[in-house]
Amino acid sequence: MRHIQALEALNTRIEACTRCQLHEWRTNVVVGEGNPRADLVLVGEGPGQNEDETGRPFVGRAGKLLNACLKEAGTSRKRVYILNAVKCRPPSNRKPEPKELAACRPYLTKQISIIAPSVIVTLGATATSALLHLGWPISSLRGSAIEWKGKLVVPTWHPAYVLRTPHEREKLVEDLRYAVQLLAR
Ligand code: SF4
């Protein structure tokens, strides 16, 4: 119970944040959502238009695809917690700048430390490098489990990329399935 209150208190603080310039363009701060006791946390890049409008992560077409892939991988959206590397929408859906990622990173790491999952899936190169500070392409990292602060991080494709390149869908499912299997170890 205590940790749910700690997460809520942190998320309330994030909602008032003006630490980087992205706060100027946002409609809503997308702090994240899901099971606060999740063993599996997913980290995306940042809110898009639908997410900015609703204040919820992954609610557009990419979100629907992610939900379907989670199901195929043997889990569900209700069982995981979904976060983003930046909580406010970059204008025109541009990539978050390094200084914006750096400003928001302490929130991401604190949220992860409170939720305390054993496995984290990073969706796309931006989320992966925001968390791990690795500049390697996602194609060389995906499918592996990287140790980070006593947890295992499984990098994979961002669902928005899979929407543009549908033949990569099975690899996203495969990586999510691998992450689910790691939970059982
Ligand atoms: Fe604050 Fe993060 Fe939003 Fe920047 S993106 S204003 S650091 S919550």
Whole-number pLDDT of residue 135: 78
Mutate to test the pocket of ligand 1, among 86, 89, 111 (most ligand atoms within 8 A of CB): 86
Mutate to test the pocket of ligand 1, among 13, 15, 18 (most ligand atoms within 8 A of CB): 18
Q: How far is CA 71 from the centre of its chain?
A: 17
| Percent share of the chain, pLDDT over 90 | 92
> To which residue do tokens 């569900």 refer?
76
Mutate to test the pocket of ligand 1, among 10, 29, 108 (most ligand atoms within 8 A of CB): 29
16-59: per-residue pLDDT in tens? 999 999 999 999 999 999 999 999 999 999 999 999 999 999 99
127-156: per-residue pLDDT in tens? 999 999 887 888 889 989 999 999 999 999
Q: What mean pLDDT do residues 71-76 have?
A: 98
Rounded Cα gap, residues 29 and 16, in angstroms:
8
Q: What mean pLDDT do residues 107-118 have?
A: 98
pLDDT band at residue 169 under the 50/70/90 scheme: very high
CA of 17 to the centre of ligand 1 (A): 6
Rounded Cα gap, residues 100 and 23, in angstroms:
10
Cβ atoms 156, 142 nearer than 8 A: yes
Whole-number pLDDT of residue 8: 96
Angle at 36 between CA 109 and CA 79, to 5 degrees: 115
At 108, the amino acid letter reads: L
CA of 88 to the centre of ligand 1 (A): 6
Which letter does DSSP use for residue 154 in this model?
E
Structure tokens at 28: 């809503």
Residue 76 has pLDDT above 90, yes or no: yes
CA of 23 to the centre of ligand 1 (A): 6
